[in-house]
Structure 1
Amino acid sequence: MFKRLPGAFARAVLVVIVLSMPAFLLPDISRAAQEISLIIGGIVAAFTLFEYASTHPGLVDFRFAPPYNRIRFFTFSLQVLLLVFLARATMELDPFSPDIIAFADWCASLLNFPLSPVNIAVAMVGDDGDADFRLLIERAAALSYAVAFSSMIFFALVLWLFKWPVGRDNFNLWVNLPTFEPASGHDVERRLNRDGMINILVGIGLPYVIPAFVSRASGWFDPSVLDNSQPLIWGCTIWSFLPASLVIRGAALLKVGYLVRRSRPTGG
């Protein structure tokens, strides 16, 4: 456990930094909001510390099969960072603000096509909404989904070109999938493939299900709340990260199912 402690501690510190980043980098954030962000970051960091300091399986999938969780954390962190600096760019707080705006507009030009998540985000605001607010939503959705799509493509390359997981001949299914109930025979492969496809399908559908749910709940959700920087950042990050995370998990399960099938003796 002590050998893993430095790495686990470093991960926990990074978690606190990422989760508290918006509260400390955005202007006009109250002291109470900063303290709440540190408390939430500390809780998540404590969970991360206990998970990665332990030598036994916990609740985190593929903990012993890098870079699965590193890609997911980097995706989440980059989404938060870009959206924070997008919010700062709208206030012209940084010398590189025009570059952030230009990059967001370029992403929007690529991703704002009919039935895309970015198009749906803009449609939620409606044509009657403030033009600047609609543009902000479009840019934020485009940035967050650009990172999400890039992470999925990168993980696909890692899966098949770099033969993930590393040391696959000694890959331990039960250690890396602690919440996966053990089974025997061909049932393992079948369930891995089934769960993998379910994760991918849910991940593909989630960007459309969440806005539909929000629009149905218009009685208690007002889209204008996203005009505030912090709700915008966390709303767009969660909305884009969850689908990408599910697709990545589904692809990983399908790859593990393929490894299980390949490891069987011929005719077995």
Structure 2
Amino acid sequence: MAAISTFPAAGLRALCVIMLIAVPSILLPEQSQDGAQIVALVAISAAIFTFVEYSVASPSFIEFRSAPPFNRLRFIALFATVLALSLIMRGNEAPSTLTQLMRLAGERVGGSLDFPFSPVRLMALMLPEDTSPKAVYLVSICAGLAYLVSLLSIAAFGVLLRFHHWPRRTGAFNVWVNLPMFDPTAGGDVVDRLNRDCQVNLILGFLLPFVFPAIGKMVSVFVSPITVNDPQTLIWMVAAWAFLPASLLMRGIALSRVAQMIHVQRKREYARAAAEGLLPV
């Protein structure tokens, strides 16, 4: 009965995932039949995965399922990024007031973040030398807008931690449910392992916006030049470049928070046991 009660919420989340994946195909005027079939297949597969993960008692991969709004915040950030980039690309074929507004916002943000050695500048330098100025311009404004959304999502999560005491306000925190890929019995102190995973995620999250363009440049030189002629390829490439580092940073912050909670709970239990005379002398 408890599992059945989660079906509506899991179905709604699966529908949201379908909308996320389908947004570029819906907004972009031209779409090949093969491309539409691939998008439909990916959307259905992702929806089934999401439905299963949110309908079972214990998920297998999705972390912090019972600690909202962590995953909701990440989904909103990714959806906002994909939607904004899709509107910018739609303006090339079917301009409107909304597409012009998104393009203007991308120009302002991209210009502000486009300075030497910045991630946005590196994304533009990743492209081959024979890339058209129009393509470089699109990459710059898309990268700037996507990077801004990622920074705002991290800031929003920081506010959530500071003022709403995430995740304690949602009740008891279940490590088994919220960290299905983390095995507390694998060996070593749990707090130390969580802090180590936190540091790895923070380092990767900080470096990825710089490493990704470098890898792309190496691929262009030694394997095959990266082309951004397909609008959907550009949208998902820039969205992944901005979202994955932000997601890793948020996960690192969340793991640090969990480690802190466990450490504080341990001290409280030790103090209580000492007060009751249960600790060995």
Name stretches of at least 5 consecutive residues in structure 2 with no aligned partner.
Answer: 271-281
Q: Give the conservation status (yes or no) of the 8 Å contact 1:51–1:59.
A: yes
Q: How does 1:33-48 map to 2 (within 5 A)?
A: 33-48=35-50
1:168 Cα shift?
A: 6.1
Q: How many equivalent residue pairs?
A: 267
The CA RMSD over aligned residues, in Å, is 1.9
Which one of the candidate residues 70, 76, 79 is aligned to 2:78?
Answer: 76
Name stretches of at least 5 consecutive residues in structure 1 with no aligned partner.
Answer: none
Divergent runs of 4+, >3 A? 126-129, 166-169, 183-186
Higher deviation after alignment, 213-222 or 43-52: 213-222
Structure-2 residue corresponding to 1:220: 223
Q: How does 1:71-110 map to 2 (within 5 A)?
A: 71-110=73-112
1:185 Cα shift?
A: 10
Task: Tell me the secondary structure at the aligned position of residue 164 of structure 2.
Answer: coil
Task: Tell me the secondary structure at the aligned position of residue 34 of structure 1.
Answer: helix
Is residue 118 of structure 1 aligned with residue 129 of structure 2? no
Q: Give the conservation status (yes or no) of the 8 Å contact 2:68–2:167.
A: yes
Q: Give the conservation status (yes or no) of the 8 Å contact 1:22–1:84.
A: yes
1:101 Cα shift?
A: 1.4
Structure-1 residue corresponding to 2:160: 158
Which one of the candidate residues 236, 239, 248 is aligned to 1:237?
Answer: 239
1:66 Cα shift?
A: 0.3
Residue by residue over 1:43-85, the C-alpha shift from the partner in whole angstroms, topping out at 9 and shown as x without a partner, is 0100000010112232111000000110111111111100000
Classify 1:18/1:57 alpha carbon distance in 2 versus 1 (closer, same or farther; 3 Å).
closer
Aligned partners of 2:258 and 2:188: how far apart in 1?
13
Is residue 30 of structure 1 aligned with residue 32 of structure 2? yes
1:256 Cα shift?
A: 0.5
Classify 1:210/1:169 alpha carbon distance in 2 versus 1 (closer, same or farther; 3 Å).
same
Q: Give the conservation status (yes or no) of the 8 Å contact 2:29–2:93.
A: no
Is residue 6 of structure 1 aligned with residue 8 of structure 2? yes
1:267 Cα shift?
A: 8.8
Higher deviation after alignment, 91-100 or 135-144: 91-100
Structure-1 residue corresponding to 2:202: 200
1:266 Cα shift?
A: 5.0
Aligned partners of 2:255 and 2:162: how far apart in 1?
13
Q: Give the conservation status (yes or no) of the 8 Å contact 1:18–1:77.
A: yes
Aligned partners of 2:47 and 2:55: how far apart in 1?
12
Higher deviation after alignment, 93-102 or 124-133: 124-133
1:189 Cα shift?
A: 0.9
Q: Give the conservation status (yes or no) of the 8 Å contact 1:202–1:243.
A: yes
Residue by residue over 1:225-267, the C-alpha shift from the partner in whole angstroms, topping out at 9 and shown as x without a partner, is 2132111001001111111111110000001011111112359
Aligned partners of 1:241 and 1:178: how far apart in 2?
22
Task: Tell me the secondary structure at the aligned position of residue 265 of structure 1.
Answer: helix
Which one of the candidate residues 172, 183, 190 is aligned to 2:192?
Answer: 190
Q: Give the conservation status (yes or no) of the 8 Å contact 2:201–2:252.
A: yes
Instruction: Compare CA radii of gyration and give the structure with the larger one.
Output: 2
Structure-1 residue corresponding to 2:137: 135
Q: Which amino acid aligns with 2:225?
A: D
Residue by residue over 1:166-204, the C-alpha shift from the partner in whole angstroms, topping out at 9 and shown as x without a partner, is 446621112211111114998111111110111010111
Q: Give the conservation status (yes or no) of the 8 Å contact 1:66–1:166.
A: no
Aligned partners of 1:221 and 1:257: how far apart in 2?
44
Classify 1:169/1:64 alpha carbon distance in 2 versus 1 (closer, same or farther; 3 Å).
closer
Q: Which amino acid aligns with 2:192?
A: R
1:37 Cα shift?
A: 0.3
Aligned partners of 1:67 and 1:266: how far apart in 2?
27
Structure-2 residue corresponding to 1:17: 19
Q: Which amino acid aligns with 1:243?
A: P
